[in-house]
Structure 1
């Protein structure tokens, strides 16, 4: 996870000067940064870590999808990066939805 997810979600820092670059960086990095207190409180990984991803990366994916629809106006390297970011974060979100649902069911049962 950390080998792909963290580097890809830090890469927007290289594209701050591109269209929506600052917003994309803020959403990508905040989705990870909000997990630091959760990891510290849980002393490791927790299903709760899905919640910041859902909060930040769903809007991120929406913004990126909109950007990709304007492909002809984007720098080719930025365009390729946006595809990579979207693919990685959508895959993560699939697992995050499952983890968040599991966490919520356990919370209601407890």
Structure 2
């Protein structure tokens, strides 16, 4: 996938995520000991930064994003409600896309 396609796909997913309402049933809930609101905010902050910096993340945000993916992997095993699952699956898809694209850009010297 080209850099332009990565940006386009991430932008589309990001717009979907921004339009989605945070699942009310997960406010103040900590499956696997993970605060869902904080998880959403930290991953979203990294994605927003990546999109605003034309596909670039600094090392600290890359680590935050990777930790977010690991946390998403844990909580997705515990979410059973369909809307909640869709919301966090999309967030994980977005995080994985941004993380992979950011690593590729770093290797290519962007």
TM-score by length of 1: 0.61
The structure that has the greater radius of gyration is 1
Task: Report the counterpart of residue 46 of structure 2 in structure 1.
Answer: 31
RMSD: 3.0
- SS of residue in 2 equivalent to 1:100: helix
Find 2:75's aligned residue among 67, 74, 89: 67
- Structure scoring higher RCO (CA < 8 A, sep ≥ 6) equals 2
Runs of 4 or more, structure 1, over 4 Å off, are: none
Counterpart CA distance in 1 for 2:19 and 2:45 is 13
Question: How many residues align structurally?
Answer: 94
Structure 1 unaligned blocks of 5 or more: 40-44
C-alpha displacement of 1:31:
0.6
More helix by proportion, 1 or 2? 1
In 2 relative to 1, CA 10–68 (structure 1 residues): closer, same or farther, beyond 3 Å? same
